[in-house]
């Protein structure tokens, strides 16, 4: 992949529900996106979600689940069979 292409994609840090809703509209309209989730599992009984990374051909976003109190709009799209998701270690994320 051309490294200049990566620099051309707008990237955002999502830290509130309004921003997440706007991002989810984009993800749904696009019909496909990449998804990666980062969990902290050291020194805790259950893993805790610390970062969600999503991207389309037009934009990328980092979602801070510790700052966004309601992630339902994202989980609705993740569960939607009409929207294609490309995951990194998706089986592991689904187990958690």
**Per residue in 38-80, pLDDT tens?**
887 666 677 788 999 999 999 999 999 999 989 999 999 999 9
More confident residue, 56 or 1: 56
pLDDT (0 to 100) of residue 56: 96
Residues 6+ apart with CB under 8 A from 86: 32, 33, 34, 35
The conformation of residue 88, written as its DSSP 8-state character, comes to S
Residue ranges of E strands in the chain: 11-14, 32-40, 48-55, 60-63, 84-87
State pLDDT tens for residues 6-22: 567 788 999 999 999 99
CA angle 76, 33, 93 (to 5 degrees): 65
CA distance 91 to 30: 23
Indicate left, alpha or beta for 5 from its phi (over 0: left) and psi (-120 to 50: alpha).
alpha
Give the mean pLDDT of 18-32.
97
């Amino acid at each position: 992949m051309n490294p200049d292409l990566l620099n051309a994609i707008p990237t955002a840090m999502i830290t509130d529900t309004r921003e997440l809703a706007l991002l989810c509209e984009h993800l749904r309209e696009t019909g496909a996106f990449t998804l990666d989730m980062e969990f902290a599992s050291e020194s805790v009984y259950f893993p805790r979600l610390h970062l969600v990374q999503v991207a389309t051909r037009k934009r990328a976003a980092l979602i801070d689940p510790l700052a966004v109190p309601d992630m339902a709009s994202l989980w609705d799209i993740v569960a939607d069979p009409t929207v294609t998701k490309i995951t990194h270690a998706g089986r592991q994320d689904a187990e958690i």
